[in-house]
Amino acid sequence: MLESVEKIEKVSKSDFQRRVPELRSRLLDAQFALQRAKRPVIVIIAGMDGAGKGEVVHRLNEWLDPRGVDTNAFWAKTTEESERPRFWRYWRVLPSRNRIAIYFGSWYTGPIIRRVYGKVGRSQFRNQMEHVRFHENMLIEDGYVIVKIWLHLGRKAQRKRLRELEKQPIGFWRVNPTNWEHHSLYDEFANVSHTVMELTHTEAAPWNVLDAKSDATRDLAVGEILADAMETAAAKRKSIPKAEAHTNDRDKSVLENVDLSKKLGAKDYQKQLRKYQYQLDRLMWQAYERKRSAVLVFEGWDAAGKGSAIRRVTNALDPRLFRVIPVAAPTEEELSQHYLWRFWKHVPPGGRLTIFDRSWYGRVLVERIEQLASPTEWQRAFAEIRDFEQQLIDHGIMVSKFWLHISQDEQAKRFAKRENTPWKRHKITEEDWRNRAKWSEYETAVSDMVAETNTGAAPWHIVPGNDKRFARIAILKHVVEMFERQLATKGEDE
Amino acid sequence: MLESVEKIEKVSKSDFQRRVPELRSRLLDAQFALQRAKRPVIVIIAGMDGAGKGEVVHRLNEWLDPRGVDTNAFWAKTTEESERPRFWRYWRVLPSRNRIAIYFGSWYTGPIIRRVYGKVGRSQFRNQMEHVRFHENMLIEDGYVIVKIWLHLGRKAQRKRLRELEKQPIGFWRVNPTNWEHHSLYDEFANVSHTVMELTHTEAAPWNVLDAKSDATRDLAVGEILADAMETAAAKRKSIPKAEAHTNDRDKSVLENVDLSKKLGAKDYQKQLRKYQYQLDRLMWQAYERKRSAVLVFEGWDAAGKGSAIRRVTNALDPRLFRVIPVAAPTEEELSQHYLWRFWKHVPPGGRLTIFDRSWYGRVLVERIEQLASPTEWQRAFAEIRDFEQQLIDHGIMVSKFWLHISQDEQAKRFAKRENTPWKRHKITEEDWRNRAKWSEYETAVSDMVAETNTGAAPWHIVPGNDKRFARIAILKHVVEMFERQLATKGEDE
């Protein structure tokens, strides 16, 4: 692709002056149109050292309405960022649905540099690019507009530019030994960049490669590419390809085969509770010392005992080491983001535990059943969720997921009991009754969910919950075993 | 106060069982009542080592509805936190208006420990406590309920407790050499704690000191204190003492004496622009290397040229080193927080610049004039803003504030020009015309604002803006001088 750099005719100063007014109007109109349509935009400014990425960023801020623009310069990671999966920092600043984000540095920068310097191998690099592709595609399917600009400089042009920059008063500081080192690796950078484009040039998020030799020409070209892309997006409605909710012939055995008769006596319960809580306390501190973190997901029928099971886990732990995130209907702010955004926020730092009391699985449970997500959206979510959890795992985070299962009869009993207990009455609402009426739909949804997202590294545990004591101990045991297994296996090569 | 520890009668196990149900109902009722009233609650659990702070936190999470509770354990600061003023981490997790935050560790912990170990002197410590008092009072005036619990242990009881904890399987890890060291400093801790309470025991946020010898008694007492406090708060309406908008006899000279005839020729402008941008570029990199950050505030009449003046500053800078925060009407999320919360979020990390395009001064300008803040609220805001900026300054952040001034005639001309320029039309709205009609009210508000918040370390610069070139250079010059002065003076003792 780099060979096919768009040869743009050099623009004269008077041409530039003449064309800018129209361009600005186009950019602003498109910006406001997308704002109204709640379509967020991500503009990635990438390219060679000395190609003027910073100048382009300044220019776009001048031409667009800056009140709707966030410029994100991704530079050295903070500790908070480096303790999380690689994409956490991007989720952190993902633009909400009425904004434009300009990325100066992006998910391409690190991989390219590490590849050039031979710090990642060919296949790992390809995996990284595949994940970038997945990530971009996921955002696009959610309505994001992604515009990728590559500012190209030939070898000679780069040398000339770096020399010029050194001479200029402003920008003096911007040329440093690293720039010259990169220049000496010109071929390597060109090769790796070429591969990047081959791997990540998609129809929905194409690379726009342009010659950056002349400032005015470059800025005008970038502006026009952006205006075109935004206008095209504004003209098309967010395309949600219709997908039939596939008539599911998957059996519901996931829940049907659960043995709900399992019980545990009070004495045994106390003994085991003490044992596992003791172990968990120690294991969590070991994890803390080794900066290994963990995520637990709790889903289940209303009144299945999620809250009290979670407390049996947390009571073993120092409050400084964990957080419980209760998940309810999204707020206005959360709705103006990709649905995974509010969960990324709570990915734990090194050595901590986050417990989700309900989770991103709401996408394929309540949102599916209450038709808050379209069939396309919730079907797509399975892959998105697998990708999300894989990122946690790749970062060394332990993941376990629990579905607390009870029978319909047991639920009826518990609803009645809640209504008769003053300090439990608040737990039972209209919604619980509505959900109960949809028991069978939920059974299907749970079966699909488990079938689609039960992976080796992030397994589902279906826990029989008619007997609360049995359920709590079963969960504690799973958690303890997860810690033991994970701290044993990864201990050596951290 | 520690001598007057409430002697609570020890509760028997059966008593505990009997009293808990009623307590839980009270706690939940009060929690929901405050949720409905949009009153946030902060519960500070402090006290001696070994007094069971962690256990109390667990217990409150069990008794309250956990979906409305955030537990915040303030522990070692992250880099992101240590690069900001001391209270940034607390603002970061300030509960929104329908939530309860339990603080395990708080703004008391660090100061107490540093004082015991002699790392801060007496007067610095008193200043810290005075600021805590100010902070708590500010939150309370905004409707927050603050409940402060001090778990006391006598010297013997502490020793006994630490020994017991060492023997128990769970909690084993929680006794460490530091706990014993603190025990050996028992008198010092008791003294400092005593001083803390003397200095921060206020009517609105009193300390509740209680004997923590027995677990059940302690938990029950904490629960009852919390229930009492929440019930009292729920019974009272948020008390907004009426304050007359004091008839202001302050003259409006701040703006009247501005010489709007000042001009700068095009050639001079280009020359000086180049000079100051060059200097600023270098200075910003020096600041970056020395981890000194800066905050610039831009306020001014509509169409006074804030945006273009800001661009003349930012065009000099590497996009990685600054952020521009455009401030518009608060979102729903922002409205459910203290008004300063959304600005604290953007306090820059070490070595960076944040530019606010409109700011917290909206509280005493548009919110005052449009009656979005009551007279009490905006009058209180002057002290709150001074305190906020002082915290920035104490952390070594440079602060400058600009009011861009133009005449009414000049504004009329610019409005007309905007309406006739396609890519500027979006900048002019109904609101601008409404504000223009209130010119005189704004003059008064600006005069009050400058009089109340023009401090040596965070000065206001009233910039004549009828001539855009003059204004831009004047601002750049102020910014350059601020950097030069600050980097010179503080260079030695960083």
Concatenated DSSP letters for A199-221?
Answer: HH--SSS-EEEEE-SSHHHHHHH
Token digits of residue A333 = 């702010």
CA end-to-end span of chain B, whole Å? 39
Distance from CA of A248 to the nearest CA of B (A): 34
Distance from CA of B214 to the nearest CA of A (A): 18
Residue A491 has a pLDDT of 44
CB contact under 8 A, A79 and B75: no
Q: Give the number of other CB atoms < 10 A from CB of residue B320.
A: 18
CB contact under 8 A, A323 and B71: yes
- Report pLDDT digits (tens) over B403-416: 999 999 999 999 99
Q: For residues B202 and B2, is the Cβ–Cβ distance under 8 A? A: no
Q: What residue spans define the domains of chain B?
A: 2-235, 253-489
A282 interfacial to chain B (CB closer than 8 Å) = yes
B243 interfacial to chain A (CB closer than 8 Å) = no
Shortest CA distance from A330: residue in chain B: B333
Give the E-state strand segments of B121-164 in sequence order: 145-152
Nearest to B144 by CA among B107, B206, B203, B99: B99
Q: What is the pLDDT along chain A (494 residues), one digit of tens a residue?
A: 555 666 677 888 899 999 999 999 999 999 999 999 999 999 999 999 999 999 999 999 999 998 999 999 998 888 899 999 999 999 999 999 999 999 999 999 999 999 999 999 999 999 999 999 999 999 999 999 999 999 999 999 999 999 988 887 665 556 788 999 999 999 999 999 999 999 999 999 999 999 999 999 999 999 999 999 999 999 986 555 555 555 455 656 789 889 999 999 999 999 999 999 999 999 999 999 999 999 999 999 999 999 999 999 999 898 899 999 999 999 988 999 999 999 999 999 999 999 999 999 999 999 999 999 999 999 999 999 999 999 999 999 999 999 999 999 999 999 999 998 888 888 888 889 999 999 999 999 999 999 999 999 999 999 999 999 999 999 999 999 999 999 997 543 34
**Residues 6 or more apart whose Cβ sits within 8 Å of residue A207:** A1, A148, A149, A150, A197, A200, A201
Residue B175 has a pLDDT of 78
Q: For residues A356 and A323, is the Cβ–Cβ distance under 8 A? A: no
Distance from CA of B363 to the nearest CA of A (A): 19
Q: Which of B73, B281, B331 sits opposite A319 (nearest CB)?
A: B73
> Dmax over Cα atoms in chain B, in whole Å?
89
A4 interfacial to chain B (CB closer than 8 Å) = no
CB contact under 8 A, B326 and A66: yes
Token digits of residue B292 = 């000194």
A18 exposure class (CB count in 10 Å sphere: 0-12, 13-18, 19+): exposed
Using pLDDT thresholds of 50, 70 and 90, give the confidence band for residue B491: very low
A433 interfacial to chain B (CB closer than 8 Å) = no
CATH architecture type of domain A253-489: 3-Layer(aba) Sandwich (3.40)
Residue B169 has a pLDDT of 65
A289 interfacial to chain B (CB closer than 8 Å) = no
Using pLDDT thresholds of 50, 70 and 90, give the confidence band for residue B252: low
Shortest CA distance from B328: residue in chain A: A67
Residue A471 has a pLDDT of 98
A419 interfacial to chain B (CB closer than 8 Å) = no
Residue B248 has a pLDDT of 53
CA end-to-end span of chain A, whole Å? 39
CB contact under 8 A, B174 and A316: no
Taking 80 as the threshold, does the pLDDT of residue B138 lie above it? Answer: yes
CB contact under 8 A, B71 and A319: yes
Nearest to B53 by CA among B71, B36, B41: B71
Q: What is the DSSP string of A213-274?
A: SSHHHHHHHHHHHHHHHHHHHHHSPP-------PPP----HHHHT--TT----HHHHHHHHH
Distance from CA of A322 to the nearest CA of B (A): 9
Same fold, A2-235 and A253-489: yes
A281 interfacial to chain B (CB closer than 8 Å) = yes
Return the CATH fold of A2-235: Rossmann fold (3.40.50)
